[in-house]
Chains A and B, each alone.
Chain A
Amino acid sequence: MELDALKTLWKEQQEAVQEEIKPIEAAQLLALLRQRSHSVVAKIKRNLLGEVILSLAIGVLFLAFIPSLSNTTLQITLTSFIVFFCSATSMVYLYFWRWIKSNYDLSDNLRAATQRLIFCMERAIKISLYCNMVLIPLGTTLGGLYGYALGGKPIDLYSNVSFTVTMVLILLFSILMAYPLHRLYINKLYRKHLKHLKAVLEEMN
């Protein structure tokens, strides 16, 4: 059967279906708008928001422990440090959120929209990588530092050798762990999808 012959068959089928279709009401549309979107862009935005909330929650948790530290200088240093990193992370995510909103256009042709979507996903992965590579080691080391301080042990990088060694080991371990953890997270979120989109783009090329 030739493709042109299928046009008649297609037309007949569509005419039959068209008669069955009922108009969509305003109330149905409003109900739909309240539903969670399954689009990949919505997923990227949700994940970014989740990461911001998690970073801020960890930041707040660390800040909550600050008063229990005995050293005032340490309190001030850590507070500034945490506030700086929380703000920087939020700014990066917020910037990307706005960027993705203004850059992704579904009314583009299929090739352009797919290219842009791949670009958006790859950029989201990069941003997530940079943030995780900084935040995971920092958070872990800070946690170690807190544990040390709350245990009543003196915090002095220069005179307390065991403290210095422990901190360096925690930092190294968390740096080593950050990348595989990030890969695991990204693979779970986007790998299948990115692969599919790249295959589609390749098909178009």
Chain B
Amino acid sequence: MRSEQEFLQKLNEVQGILWKICHLYCPEAVDKQDLFQEILVQLWRAYPKFRGEAKFSTWVYRIGLNVAISFLRKEKRKPSLVDLPKEVYEMAAPEVDEEKEERKKLLYWAIRQLKTIEKAIVLLYLEEKSYEEIAQIVGITQNNLRVRISRIKEKLRKLMLQPIDS
């Protein structure tokens, strides 16, 4: 079994991926933290089986998205006791101009309105993954993916045109 340090080193390089998944799938801070922890635990448990056939980041996306899809969200749950740095599960709010900030909020809001798999596809698409890689991660054909992306684009366009309150 490879060492804990090696795993943490690799993980810290791609930690942003976990944050993005959590942020898209869990709007609530408590759920976000729980999902982050769950993904970390599952990554650590699966790490001995990681053979390096795919890129580490692709492997992290697969596990992270699989955990996010099957994650149990409870109505009322006490926050977890493990204190992770809040930056890893809370959205950072760097000081930028208001218009940009609004657009970002709108972007996240619109993506969150999408269906479970659409969220995964849009995340991978925005991450500039190739169609081949996205298709492999999701488990659909590239043709199917193209159709879906075009539908998602249309959906997002419509969503981003309407005000959040509606």
Contact = CB atoms under 8 A, between A and B. Distances in A.
Is the A/B pair a real complex?
yes
B113 interface: no
Interface residues of A, number: 50
Contacts of B137: 109-110
A113 B46 CA distance: 14
A197 interface: yes
B70 interface: yes
Given A16-B92, A108-B62, A114 B87 contact: no
A117 B152 CA distance: 26
Do most interface residues of chain B lie in helix, strand or loop, or is the interface mixed?
A: helix
Do most interface residues of chain A lie in helix, strand or loop, or is the interface mixed?
A: helix
B138 A111 contact: yes
Contacts, number: 166
A9 interface: yes
Contact of B59 (A33, A107, A200): A107
Contact of B87 (A2, A6, A21, A193): A21
Interface residues of B, number: 66
Interface of B: 4-5, 8, 11-12, 15-16, 19-20, 34, 37-38, 40-42, 44, 46, 49-50, 59, 62-63, 65-67, 69-72, 80-85, 87-88, 91-92, 94, 96, 100, 103-104, 107, 115-118, 120, 122, 125-128, 136-140, 149, 152-153, 156-157, 160
